[in-house]
Chain A
Amino acid sequence: MGDPIFFYLFATIVIGGAIGVVFLSNPLSSALSLIFSLAGLAGLFVLLQAHFLAAIQVLVYAGAVMVLFIFVIMMLNLEDCKKHLKVSFASLIGFVIALNLAIVLVMHVSAPLFDDGVSDKTFGTIEGVGQLMLTRYLIPFEIVSLLLTIAIVGAVILAKKDNPKETT
């Protein structure tokens, strides 16, 4: 099951990064904390024997997505947010409910152990995941491809500067 030290190390990185995202006032520092958090998550994925997913997490999330984020932050040249936390009554209630749910969860899920004997050699490899993705989960896979198409089209038509001739 791996060394507990690694779990605690990665868990600390994940949670510490998340705290950074939420509480730092500069968007760039938040983005950097998010990278830490996501990379730590990739570490947890490795501990859970999801090696392929860990690689994807680093490539797509900590890589591509975060580069996009930082690129936008740089482009907009944002300053620190003053008064960056705004607490309203309604959102406070929402948060308290969510916290309660989490506590209920922690209290009630009675620690079932991992069964250590994952006999399947392909567990977590690109072969195993790929096989499943293109057989059983083919339809969701296709829907995801549609989703990405829509997102690309959308990003282009939204962010593209208009032809000035069309301006009213």
Chain B
Amino acid sequence: MILLEHYLIVASLLFCLGLLGVLFRRNALIVFMSIELMLNAGNLVFVAFSRFFGRMDGQVLAFFIIALAAAEVSVGLAIIVVMFRKRGTIDINEASLMKG
């Protein structure tokens, strides 16, 4: 029998993996992908609870998050492209000019 908590565990794992990627990877593209994982973990929680309550609010909210993620990705990739054109790298540490 699959319970609510099973879904929550999957979501937590997904979230932690996403956070791991954001904190430890230096490639900006992969950091973006990890952020997507974190957002999707949130979506899974929304949808799981939506099923749990038998109300669709959670699905609508998840829908908004999907739209938001699409918006973020388009801007983020534009930033990456500009960065790569200028600097020839998308490694966050290598590209870092400012320190202090």
Contacts and interface: CB of A to CB of B under 8 A. Distances in A.
Interface of A: 1-2, 4, 7, 11, 14-15, 18-19, 21-22, 27, 30-31, 34, 37-38, 41, 44-45, 47-50, 52-53, 56-57, 60-61, 64-65, 68-69, 72-73, 75-76, 78, 81, 84-87, 91-92, 94-95, 98-99, 102, 105-106, 109-115, 117-120, 123-124, 128-129, 132-133, 136-137, 140-141, 144, 147-148, 150-152, 154-156, 158-159
B29 A72 contact: yes
A35 to B, nearest CB: 10
B3 to A, nearest CB: 4
Residue among A64, A76, A152 with max Cβ neighbours from chain B (10 Å): A76
Interface of B: 1-10, 12-21, 23-27, 29-30, 32-34, 36-37, 40, 43-44, 47-48, 50-52, 54, 56-57, 59-64, 66-75, 77-82, 84, 90-91, 93
Contact of B78 (A61, A73, A154): A154
A117 B53 CA distance: 11
Chain A interface, DSSP helix/strand/loop, else mixed: helix
B16 A98 contact: yes
B36 A19 contact: no
Nearest to A160: B78
Given A30-B33, A60-B66, A112-B52, A148 B71 contact: yes
A144 B67 CA distance: 7
Contacts of B20: 22, 95
Contacts of B67: 60, 144, 147-148
Given A69-B29, A144-B67, A159-B81, 16 more contacts: A2-B2, A4-B1, A21-B30, A30-B33, A37-B37, A38-B36, A61-B36, A69-B73, A81-B25, A105-B8, A106-B5, A106-B8, A112-B4, A119-B54, A147-B68, A155-B75
9 contacts: A21-B37, A22-B30, A34-B37, A41-B43, A48-B7, A113-B3, A113-B4, A155-B74, A158-B78
A159 B24 CA distance: 27
A115 B51 CA distance: 8
Contacts of B72: 151
B57 to A, nearest CB: 7
